[in-house]
Amino acid sequence: MTQSALTDTGQSPTRPDGMQGFVTDWSSDQRAFKNVPWGKAMMWIFLLSDTFIFSCFLLSYMTVRMSTTVPWPIPSEVFALSFGGEPIPLILIAIMTFILISSSGTMAMAVMFGYKKDRRTTAILMFVTALFGASFVGMQAFEWTKLIVDEGVRPWANPMGAAQFGSTFFMITGFHGFHVSIGVIFLFIIARKVWRGDFDREATGFFTSRKGNYEIVETMGLYWHFVDLVWVFIFALFYLW
């Protein structure tokens, strides 16, 4: 506690009651966010706002799908791939889901080793997580190419059924893919700084923290786990429904 917050007797001043006390608490980061790093607090606020956006997208998708009078394409047929024989339903989507869930595990281990100050292992696991994410984005690009080039799906048209299929698909999966792409970039940046030992010495600037503090790794983990969780809902509502 700072000296200015103490009275002449060395004791803490009495907390005001009512609305004044509420204002006093929230105007002091030492009380409102005690023991919570600002980076982590701001990430939680960002993820909360992003939750509202994805919720609106998915609710709009379900509303459109249940209200359309034109038959909706069957996902198991639309997203089937053939390797010289019979088409395998949702094989690409299953691989993408496995990769993204696996990346959540490597990210969790990176956070664990970060708290242990194991710089080398933390950096390697973050690089692996980023490679998983890049693979996911690459497969999603292949999926988009197949739908656009081979199937003729457009945001405004769909030869396989309801026209809204294209608009909702590209909007929801594209917005999620954008989040994954941004996450991959940040993972590479932070992993490189961890590998160089930037967090093991005092530094100032963007993506830096106190000496020996790996909180940025945990903050990045929060973002990545959120992206993985959103994909679970997209997978269930868009590909399995």
- Read off the pLDDT of residues 169-228 as tens digits, 9 standing for 90 and up: 999 999 999 999 999 999 999 999 999 888 776 554 544 444 457 789 999 999 999 999
Sign (positive or negative) of CA dihedral 216, 218, 224, 230: negative
The backbone torsions φ and ψ at residue 224, rounded to the nearest 5 degrees and listed phi first, read: -70, -40
Q: Average per-residue pLDDT in the chain?
A: 84
For residues 3 and 166, which has the higher predicted lDDT (pLDDT)? 166
Task: Place 11 in a pLDDT band, splitting at 50, 70 and 90.
Answer: very low
- The ranges of the chain annotated as CATH 1.20.120.80 are 37-239
- Rounded to an integer, what distance in angstroms lies between the CA atom of residue 167 and that of residue 156? 6
Q: Which helix (H) or strand (E) holds 74?
A: none
Percent share of the chain, pLDDT over 90 = 54
Three-class HEC string of 106-169: HHHHHHHHHHCCCHHHHHHHHHHHHHHHHHHHHHHHHHHHHHHHHCCCECCECCCCCCHHHHHH
We find that the CATH architecture of domain 37-239 is Up-down Bundle (1.20)
Mapped onto helix, strand or coil, the DSSP state of residue 40 is: helix
